[in-house]
Amino acid sequence: MSDERHSAIITLQALEPVYQPALAVWAERLGLQAQAGADFALQLGAEGLQFVELGPQAPGAVRVDFVEGAVAHRRLFGGGTGQMIAKAVGVRAWVAMPSCWPAWGAT
């Protein structure tokens, strides 16, 4: 295993002009700016925010969707007693639900 570090240049791209103001907010939040000769791009478009490698042989964009699909179902209806967090706080199907509070200081 090598301790060699590789630096990558990340640029920002609005896929349509209408997304430029929102992209400016992301740029400030992440401390990024548009750069020429970038290896990767953080793009904002109709499908949301995506991360993409630039170049002729680059694979497709990477997107995470917390609003639709299985993640949305889990968010709306819970994961059940088999989920790791449920097991961690002692939830069992045949036992009364324990009370649980965020110990990391969230309010």
CATH number at residue 37: 3.40.1630
CA distance 97 to 39: 49
Contacts of 78 (CB under 8 A, 6+ apart): none
> Integer distance in angstroms from the first to the last C-alpha of the chain?
41
pLDDT tens per residue across all 107 residues of the chain: 566 667 788 899 999 999 999 999 988 988 888 888 888 999 999 988 899 999 888 888 888 776 777 767 766 776 666 666 667 766 666 655 555 555 555 54
Identify the pLDDT of residue 102: 56
Q: Does 2 map to a domain?
A: no
Predicted TM-score (pTM) of this structure: 0.58
Identify the pLDDT of residue 3: 65
> 76 with 53, same domain?
no
> 67 with 38, same domain?
no
Range of the domain at 80: 62-92
Q: Does 52 map to a domain?
A: yes
**Can you spell out the DSSP letters for 75-106?**
HHH---TTSHHHHHTT--TTSPPPP---TTS-
**For 87, phi and psi rounded to 5 degrees?**
-65, -40
| The total number of structural domains that make up the chain | 2
The pLDDT tens digits for 77-107 are 766 666 666 677 666 666 555 555 555 555 4
Identify the pLDDT of residue 16: 95
Q: What is the dihedral of CA 41, 42, 43, 44, to 10 degrees?
A: -170
